Amino acid sequence: MRNFWLLARHEYRKLVGKRSFLVGTLGFPLILMVVMAAGIFISVRSDPNRPIGYVDHAGIINPAVSPIIEEGETLLALRPFPDEAAAQEALANEEIQALMVIPAGYPRNLLIKVFYWQDTPGEAVYSDFNAYLRANLAADYPANLQTRLQDGSDLVVRAADGSREFNSQNIFNFFIPFIAAFFFVFVVMGSSGYLLQVVTDEKENRTIEIMMTTVSPGQLIGGKALGLLAVSLTQAAIWVATGIVAILIGSIFFETLRFVSVPWSLLLVALLFFVPAYAFIAGLMTAIGSAVSELTQAQQIAGILNLLFLLPFFFIALFFTNPNSPVLVVMTFFPTTAFMTVLMRWGMSNMPVWQLVLSWLLLVGSALGSVWVASRVFHTGMLRYGQSLKLKDVVTAVRPRRVSGS
Amino acid sequence: MSTVLISSVRKSFGRVEAVKDVSFEVFPGEIFGLLGPNGAGKTTTIRMMLDIFEPDGGQVSVFDGRITEAKKQRIGYMPEDRGLYKDLQLEQTLVFLATLKGLAESEAKSRLEGWLKRLDLYDHRQKKIQELSKGMQQKAQLIATLLHDPDLIVVDEPFSGLDPVNTRLVKDIIEEQRQAGKTIIMSTHQMYQVEALCNRIVLIDNGRTVLYGEVSKIKRDFSGNAILLEGHGDFSQVPGVLEARRQNGAWHLALGSDANPQEIFRHLARQDDVTIERFEIAEPSLDDIFVRVVQEGKQSREADHA
């Protein structure tokens, strides 16, 4: 058991210490930071000290009417102008940050002209002016209707059993199953991709003969698989932490992010499927790595296999329109597509529990089979330095052996 | 008690019988030569001995029983196909391999320093394996084999890729290990190294044991049909001699199967035109024995097929 942990630690340290790992791992948070900073910059670019100018040809805005706002919330001030020339001059002098011209025909065509100087105005300019406009348009209605009209419409989508509900506020939650599915599949495929590389390296480096006289094949592959899984989980943890920080910071500026909630049931299903899915693909990658002689050859075969794992991605529209369609049900039971399909169906629809259980059992069975095949092919293929196994050799390796006396 | 006992083992890969019937025993404190032509079944035999392959039949016993994970830590193996992690530093690699063999990391580092200095690799310890020369990698492999102080050492072609200075160094190290009571199995095609180092040998040909025993006894068994002569006169026309050739100032006379060295000596002693300064029964080299046994085996197989 000591060697199992030593191997896991060795693989972990070896990979985490590489520059490529640091670049790959820190690259995502950096890109996210840049994207967020750009978003926040656009959002907060409005100058709170400069009002929004407007010229009201339609006679809609009454300066005495203010929108209903929450406690602590502030709006940009409005500054009326009698004509466009005066307003344009004020805009050129940077006295106002944007100019809204409400044409006389606004009630008919609902069009407003927007003028700004060099930089596009921030989100607050549009949302605050809309709030003023909505409040003035609803000013003649009773108080309760005014409130309702100012709040605007909110489409609520509920699952039939009431287990899930999405509205304009928590819309981000709708995408979490997709994000989670891609995320977990990435971790599984990332780890198994590392494993493929490590097994092929072991064969190319011809270290296997020494290793096999030191540790058992189970310890060797198990230790490496665990170490590489830890690498992917480290990478994933850094990204998740970055995502959480991004959501926390983003929620200050973007309202939708304030309503993000953790989908615990989805996480539970993900964890349930994670181990057999990883064992399944790790077994396949070990078998491929043992059977071929070069990494490029292994990657070509693994690339085809990866397509099978990402197959649900090509049916993504179906998950929205008909998550219980026969195609997706079949993919739920097929071992390569089960993990991703289950995560997305479970997160988005009311997937029958029997399908979940059957899918899990089939995946566990496939994982055991995959690891068994991998151990046979590993034993045969790893000592054939510089040679690839033919299909016949693989079949021979997998075929049950005669009982031998020694 | 023997360290290794191989008894009538056999192993096939599909239709190919790699090992048909190999038996030998190796004891502590000896350097044992595992010899044979290419493809004879040596590597397969070693792999069965080290539990990499399961034999189809026969018995393998290491340290008095079946090989276990614990026993593997008492074995140092330098395979013919050398391999170390090319993109790792030398020191890091050797410490890692030693810890897998049961050493604590601190102990491995401590022992490694001495080995690196002795094998002139200390200044290269931070280099990646791929940056080392072939000879350096060979020495690094030897350190990986010996760092955990194994009781059974199996080395396959330990001198390949080494210059004469390093060959001498490796020979000294192997001899030291023998003196320390370790069991050493050495597979090589360099027969003069076998003669210099090995106490006993087994010769495998076509998957079978064809010669087994003490080197000196085997050489004695193959002597008697040749004599070495020094003196004056013509020794080319001696009755019973098949071939006479000059070799390093002496005469090497190959005798026919019916000829007797004593009769040859008596015959020469009676001759007035020759003087004898040295007369001895020529002991064949291990190289000669190897070639003869393997060729006879080949001819025998060809005859059987015909």
Model pLDDT for residues B10-43, shown as the tens digit of each residue: 998 877 889 999 999 999 999 999 998 888 899 9
Q: Mean pLDDT across the stretch A148-169?
A: 73
Specify the 3-state DSSP secondary structure of B294: helix
Is residue B273 included in any domain, yes or no? yes
* A99 has pLDDT over 60: yes
Instruction: Look at A205 and B81 and tell me if their CB atoms are within 8 Å.
Output: no
Listed range (A160-169, A234-243, B122-131) with the worst mean pLDDT? A160-169
Is residue B301 included in any domain, yes or no? no
Residue B294 — pLDDT band, cuts 50, 70, 90? confident
Is residue B91 included in any domain, yes or no? yes
Listed range (A119-128, A156-165, B159-168) with the worst mean pLDDT? A156-165
ipTM over 0.85: no
What integer best gives the mean pLDDT of chain A? 83
Is residue B288 included in any domain, yes or no? no
Specify the 3-state DSSP secondary structure of B250: strand
Shared-domain flag, residues B247 and B150: no
Query: What percent of chain A has pLDDT above 90?
Result: 17
Question: Alpha-carbon Rg of chain B, whole angstroms?
Answer: 23
* A406 has pLDDT over 70: no
Is residue B56 included in any domain, yes or no? yes
Measured between beta carbons, which residues in chain B are less than 8 angstroms from residue A7? Answer: 100
Q: Give the mutation candidate from B22, B52, B56 for the A interface (greatest A CB count, under 10 A).
A: B52
CATH classification of the domain holding B240:
3.30.70
Instruction: Look at B99 and A6 and tell me if their CB atoms are within 8 Å.
Output: yes
Query: Rounded distance, CA B93 to CA B86, Å?
Result: 9
Burial of A156 (0-12, 13-18, 19+ CB in 10 A): exposed
Listed range (A90-104, A145-159, B270-284) with the worst mean pLDDT? A145-159
Shared-domain flag, residues B151 and B260: no
Shared-domain flag, residues B172 and B253: no
Chain A residue whose CA is closest to B9:
A406
Instruction: Look at B85 and A207 and tell me if their CB atoms are within 8 Å.
Output: yes
Shared-domain flag, residues B168 and B84: yes
**Per-residue tokens: B238:** 């001696």
CATH classification of the domain holding B166:
3.40.50.300
**Per-residue tokens: B123:** 């200044």
* A75 has pLDDT over 50: yes
Instruction: Look at B82 and A206 and tell me if their CB atoms are within 8 Å.
Output: yes
Shared-domain flag, residues B26 and B138: yes
Q: Mean pLDDT across the stretch A291-298?
A: 81
Chain B nearest-CA distance from A28, in A, is 26
Write out the H or E segment, with its range, that includes residue B5.
strand B4-13
Burial of B185 (0-12, 13-18, 19+ CB in 10 A): buried
Listed range (A164-168, A228-232, B75-79, B263-267) with the worst mean pLDDT? A164-168
Query: Rounded distance, CA A147 to CA A5, Å?
Result: 63
CATH dotted code for A52-153: 3.40.190
Output DSSP code: residue B199.
S
**A242/B23: higher pLDDT:** B23
Query: Rounded distance, CA B260 to CA B273, Å?
Result: 21
The reported pLDDT for the residue numbered B101 is 92
Query: What percent of chain B has pLDDT above 90?
Result: 49
Among the three residues B166, B195, B219, which one is the final residue of a domain in this structure? B219
Q: Mean pLDDT across the stretch A360-382?
A: 87
CB-closest option in A6, A209, A402 to B100 = A6
Is residue B165 included in any domain, yes or no? yes
Look at residues B64, B82, B83, B84 and name the one whose alpha carbon lies nearest to residue B74.
Answer: B64
**Number of domains within chain B:** 2
Shared-domain flag, residues B53 and B132: yes
| B239 torsion bin: left (phi>0), alpha (psi -120 to 50), beta (else) | beta
Look at residues A367, A364, A372, A375 and name the one whose alpha carbon lies nearest to residue A220.
Answer: A375
Q: How many CA atoms lie within 13 A of A246 on its CB side?
A: 18
Convert the pLDDT of each residue in B129-154 to its tens digit: 889 998 899 999 999 999 999 999 99
CB-closest option in A210, A383, A404 to B77 = A210
Q: Mean pLDDT across the stretch A6-34?
A: 84
* A45 has pLDDT over 70: no
Query: Rounded distance, CA B178 to CA A8, Å?
Result: 35
The reported pLDDT for the residue numbered B69 is 85
Among the three residues B174, B189, B219, which one is the final residue of a domain in this structure? B219
| B55 torsion bin: left (phi>0), alpha (psi -120 to 50), beta (else) | beta
Length of chain B: 306
Shared-domain flag, residues B171 and B259: no
Residue A401 — pLDDT band, cuts 50, 70, 90? low
The reported pLDDT for the residue numbered A43 is 64
Chain A residue whose CA is closest to B73:
A214
Shared-domain flag, residues B131 and B199: yes
The reported pLDDT for the residue numbered A405 is 37
**Chain A residues contacting B via beta carbons under 8 Å:** 3, 6-7, 10, 14, 201, 205-216, 383, 385, 396, 402, 404-406
Listed range (A43-52, A185-194, A210-219, B11-20) with the worst mean pLDDT? A43-52
A111 close to A103: Cβ distance less than 8 angstroms? yes
Residue B296 — pLDDT band, cuts 50, 70, 90? confident
The reported pLDDT for the residue numbered A235 is 82
Distance of CA A153 to the CA centre of its chain: 28
The reported pLDDT for the residue numbered A400 is 62
Instruction: Look at B96 and A212 and tell me if their CB atoms are within 8 Å.
Output: no
Is residue B93 included in any domain, yes or no? yes
The reported pLDDT for the residue numbered B155 is 93
Query: Rounded distance, CA A183 to CA A211, Å?
Result: 34
CB-closest option in B50, B60, B99 to A213 = B50
Query: Rounded distance, CA A19 to CA A22, Å?
Result: 5
Length of chain A: 406
Shared-domain flag, residues B62 and B200: yes
Shared-domain flag, residues B40 and B126: yes
Shared-domain flag, residues B264 and B179: no
Is residue B98 included in any domain, yes or no? yes
For chain A, domain boundaries: 2-38+169-398, 52-153
Shared-domain flag, residues B99 and B187: yes
Convert the pLDDT of each residue in B199-258 to its tens digit: 999 999 989 998 999 988 888 887 767 888 998 888 888 888 888 888 778 888 888 767
A344 close to A269: Cβ distance less than 8 angstroms? no
Instruction: Look at B52 and A212 and tell me if their CB atoms are within 8 Å.
Output: yes
The reported pLDDT for the residue numbered A90 is 92
Distances (CA, A) of A215 to A122, A224, B13: 63, 12, 24
Convert the pLDDT of each residue in A300-311 to its tens digit: 888 888 888 888
Query: What percent of chain A has pLDDT above 70?
Result: 93
Query: What percent of chain B has pLDDT above 70?
Result: 99
| B33 torsion bin: left (phi>0), alpha (psi -120 to 50), beta (else) | beta
Listed range (A80-89, A135-144, B174-183, B222-231) with the worst mean pLDDT? B222-231
Q: Mean pLDDT across the stretch A324-338?
A: 92
Residue B86 — pLDDT band, cuts 50, 70, 90? confident
Among the three residues B187, B219, B251, which one is the final residue of a domain in this structure? B219
The reported pLDDT for the residue numbered A80 is 93
Query: Rounded distance, CA A193 to CA A171, Å?
Result: 34
* A404 has pLDDT over 60: no
Q: Give the mutation candidate from A7, A199, A204, A207 for the B interface (greatest B CB count, under 10 A).
A: A207
What integer best gives the mean pLDDT of chain B? 89
Convert the pLDDT of each residue in A246-291 to its tens digit: 888 877 777 667 777 777 888 888 888 888 988 888 888 888 888 8
Write out the residue range of the structural domain in which residue B172 sits.
4-219
* A192 has pLDDT over 90: no
- The residues near A294 (Cβ < 8 Å, ≥ 6 apart) are A200, A204
